[in-house]
């Protein structure tokens, strides 16, 4: 088919009519309109104000008695009864391209500095299907993260998806910035969802820094923005990572946090009338999480290695969102508040964390070293109370004697300063030198 014939077909497919509706009521987050004819997921524009041409973007999220239910991407304070609603006949698309590397964008892919992405950019859907489970390549190659506790004990593979589970103030954001600066990935995509406005610039300038930002795209949706914008921030960040993966690159996708995405979906679900279930979360929350998290990983062209932070309520690792996310991902890192309070960074609880692909991508010697360290920590923890009160007598149990000898050395290995970069090879070498003469049996 020639270029002219393609244009003719495009002209024939153009709808020469515009469809409009009118706002009938606004209740909380929900806008109800009579018309226009639209499908779930399509964008609409709502004209607001008497003497302005301001238009608010909204998305169709459901229907009620022949009326369209919309959720806005902006505040609804200027919407009035009878405001004109125009359908755009398409779902949300963003403009993506290599020129966005090093920039900070909002949930709609618009730069915060006012620039306009145009030349060299192309439209890209924010809601794409995950890679096929049949054609998705297996994870076979390790990725150096630059954090020796992770590289040594929970080796990450290219295309793996891990959760970082912790309560507030335990060091999730700092660890995420450390991974962005130190890992061997070609590009980082970081999504800050539901973050406090004050902390966004702190994270970009203090934690990430100029060196970290130069090969990173940051997507920001602060806590004051509508629930739909917070959800679209997660979708937009994932779409940007997918675009670069399709260019054959090895991408790190980091999202802080999945919990706030789930909370935003809960707000929308409750507003449109879904029944609340566990802890008030609606059924759509548990449908959204696998659809979002499965989009990362390997495909035939590249890899997205993903780190999703989960803000656990009251350090409860079994709350509904944490439990659901843990069942979807390929491993999890649990940050321990007691370790953080002792000044141990990163505060990773080795005994509660796991990488489901490490046994396949690390060699036998490395796996044996990691198992030995884990055994030392487990044995010491089981006997810690007896040791601390002086009730244990050395020589009674050889395993406990070994744990007392090696535990301080293992804990020293697991600590790392924020500005220190350790490669995977360096981490394994330090593990070998820790047990001089080989792995102790």
Residue spans of the chain under pLDDT 50: 438-441
What is the predicted pLDDT for the residue at 105? 93
Specify the pLDDT at position 441: 41
CB contact at 8 A, 45 and 33: no
Domain 94-359 has CATH 3.40.50.12240: yes
pLDDT at 439: 44
The pLDDT value given to residue 16: 61
**Buried/exposed 47-60: b ≥16 CB within 10 Å, e otherwise:** bbeeeeeebbbbbb
Could you check whether the bond before residue 257 is cis, i.e. omega within 30 degrees of 0?
A: yes
Instruction: Decide the pairing of beta strands 250-256 and 187-195.
Output: parallel
pLDDT at 440 (0 to 100): 45
Q: Report the pLDDT value the prediction gives residue 346, as an integer from 0 to 100.
A: 93
Pull the structure tokens for residue 132.
Answer: 């096929």
pLDDT in tens, 153-212: 999 999 999 999 988 888 888 899 899 999 999 999 999 999 888 888 888 888 888 888
Three-class SS state of 31: strand
Residue 239 near residue 125, CB atoms below 8 Å: yes
Q: What is the spatial distance between Cα 306 and Cα 251, in angstroms, rounded to a whole number?
A: 8
What is the reported pLDDT for 241? Answer: 96
70 three-state secondary structure = strand
Separation between Cα atoms, residue 230 and residue 29, nearest integer Å: 13
What are the distances in angstroms from CA 401 to CA 120, 386, 406, 431, 437? 64, 12, 9, 20, 18
pLDDT of the residue at 378: 95
**In the prediction, which pLDDT does 438 show?**
46
What lies within 8 Å, CB to CB, of 356 at 6+ separation is 330, 331
Residues in a beta bridge with 308:
163, 255
- Give the pLDDT score at 162: 95
Instruction: Tell me the C-alpha to C-alpha distance, in Å, between residue 276 and each of 266, 279, 393.
Output: 8, 8, 55
Single out the residue of 46, 41, 54 nearest to residue 92, CA to CA. 41
- The CATH number assigned to the domain with range 18-91 reads 2.40.10.170
pLDDT at 434: 87
For the chain, which residues make up each domain, given as ranges?
Answer: 18-91, 94-359, 365-436
Handedness of CA 269, 274, 279, 283 (dihedral sign): negative
Question: Left if phi > 0, otherwise alpha if psi is -120 to 50, otherwise beta: which for 129?
Answer: beta
From 335, 365, 330, select the one nearest 350 (Cα to Cα): 335
* 314 CB-side CA count, 13 A: 4
Considering the segment(s) 365-436 as one domain, its CATH architecture is Up-down Bundle (1.20)
Query: Distance (Å, rounded) from C-alpha 390 to C-alpha 401?
Result: 13
Are 60 and 39 within 8 A, CB to CB? Answer: yes
Distance CA(136)–CA(132), nearest Å, equals 6
């Amino acid at each position: 088919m020639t270029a002219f014939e393609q244009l003719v077909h495009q002209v024939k497919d153009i709808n020469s009519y515009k469809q409009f509706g009118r706002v009938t009521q606004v209740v909380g987050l929900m806008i109800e309109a009579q018309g226009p004819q639209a499908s779930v997921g399509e964008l609409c524009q709502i004209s607001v104000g008497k003497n302005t041409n301001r238009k608010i973007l909204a998305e169709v999220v459901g229907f009620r008695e022949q009326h369209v239910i919309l959720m806005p991407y902006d505040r609804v304070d200027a919407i009035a009864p009878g405001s004109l609603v125009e359908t755009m006949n398409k779902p949300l698309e963003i403009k993506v391209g290599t020129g966005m590397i090093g920039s900070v964008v909002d949930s709609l892919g618009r730069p915060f500095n006012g620039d306009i992405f145009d030349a060299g950019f192309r439209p890209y859907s924010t809601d794409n299907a995950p890679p096929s489970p049949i054609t998705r390549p297996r994870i076979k190659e390790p990725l150096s993260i630059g954090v020796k506790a992770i590289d040594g004990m929970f080796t990450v593979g290219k295309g793996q998806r891990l959760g970082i589970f912790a309560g507030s103030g335990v060091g999730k954001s700092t660890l995420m910035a450390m991974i962005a600066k130190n890992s061997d990935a070609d590009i980082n995509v970081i999504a800050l969802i539901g973050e406090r406005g004050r902390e966004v610039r702190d994270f970009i300038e203090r934690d990430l820094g100029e060196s970290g930002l130069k090969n990173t795209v940051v997507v920001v949706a602060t806590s004051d923005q509508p629930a739909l914008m917070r959800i679209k921030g997660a979708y937009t960040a994932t779409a940007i990572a997918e675009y670069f993966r399709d260019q054959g690159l090895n991408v790190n996708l980091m999202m802080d946090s999945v919990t706030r995405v789930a909370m935003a979906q809960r707000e929308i679900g409750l507003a449109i009338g879904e029944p609340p279930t566990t802890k008030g979360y609606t059924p759509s929350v548990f449908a959204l999480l696998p659809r979002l998290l499965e989009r990362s990983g390997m495909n035939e062209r590249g890899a997205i290695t993903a780190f999703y932070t989960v803000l656990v309520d009251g350090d409860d690792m079994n709350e509904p969102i944490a439990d659901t996310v843990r069942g979807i991902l390929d491993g999890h890192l649990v940050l321990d508040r007691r370790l953080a309070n002792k000044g141990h960074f990163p505060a990773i609880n080795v005994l509660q964390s796991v990488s489901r692909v490490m046994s396949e991508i690390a060699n036998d010697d490395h796996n044996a070293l990691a198992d030995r360290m884990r055994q030392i920590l487990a044995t010491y923890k089981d006997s810690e109370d007896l040791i601390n009160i002086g009730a244990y007598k050395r020589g009674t149990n050889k395993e406990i004697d070994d744990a007392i000898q090696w535990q301080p050395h293992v804990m020293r290995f697991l600590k790392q300063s924020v500005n220190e970069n350790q490669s995977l090879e360096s981490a394994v070498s330090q593990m070998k030198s820790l047990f001089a003469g080989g792995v102790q049996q």
